[in-house]
Amino acid sequence: MSDPTIVAYLKPSCGWSGAVRAVFAKYGLAYEDKDIINNPSNYQEMVMKSGQPLQPCVEINGEMLADVSGDEVEAYMLSKGIVQPATVEAFK
């Protein structure tokens, strides 16, 4: 299976954003981390793509997951077969 294309719209310092980053680290996944606080154009892009203003938002292979937790991102990737169950817990 090829590596997924992941774009994550996150705050630099936020528990929810940190949990999303931890899930990607848990599975060794590369992703584009778009800072929505220090780069207003990233925030506008997130709102335009997701249709709402809350974060984290994660786009995986073109599908937007809006206002999600790390657990929800992990569950989505497992359900789609993007990742296989890991034996290591993500930092939360």
How many domains is the chain partitioned into structurally?
Answer: 1
Q: In this predicted model, what pLDDT tens digit does every residue of 59-84 receive, in sequence order?
A: 999 999 999 999 999 999 999 999 99
**Domain harbouring 40, CATH code:** 3.40.30.10
Residue 90 has pLDDT above 60, yes or no: no
Q: In this predicted model, what pLDDT tens digit does every residue of 9-40 receive, in sequence order?
A: 999 999 999 999 999 999 999 999 999 999 99
| pTM assigned to the model | 0.91
Task: State how far the Cα of 27 lies from the Cα of 18, in Å rounded to an integer.
Answer: 15
The answer to whether residue 86 sits within a structural domain is no
> What is the reported pLDDT for 52?
97
Q: Residue 40 belongs to what domain range?
A: 6-79
The answer to whether residue 1 sits within a structural domain is no
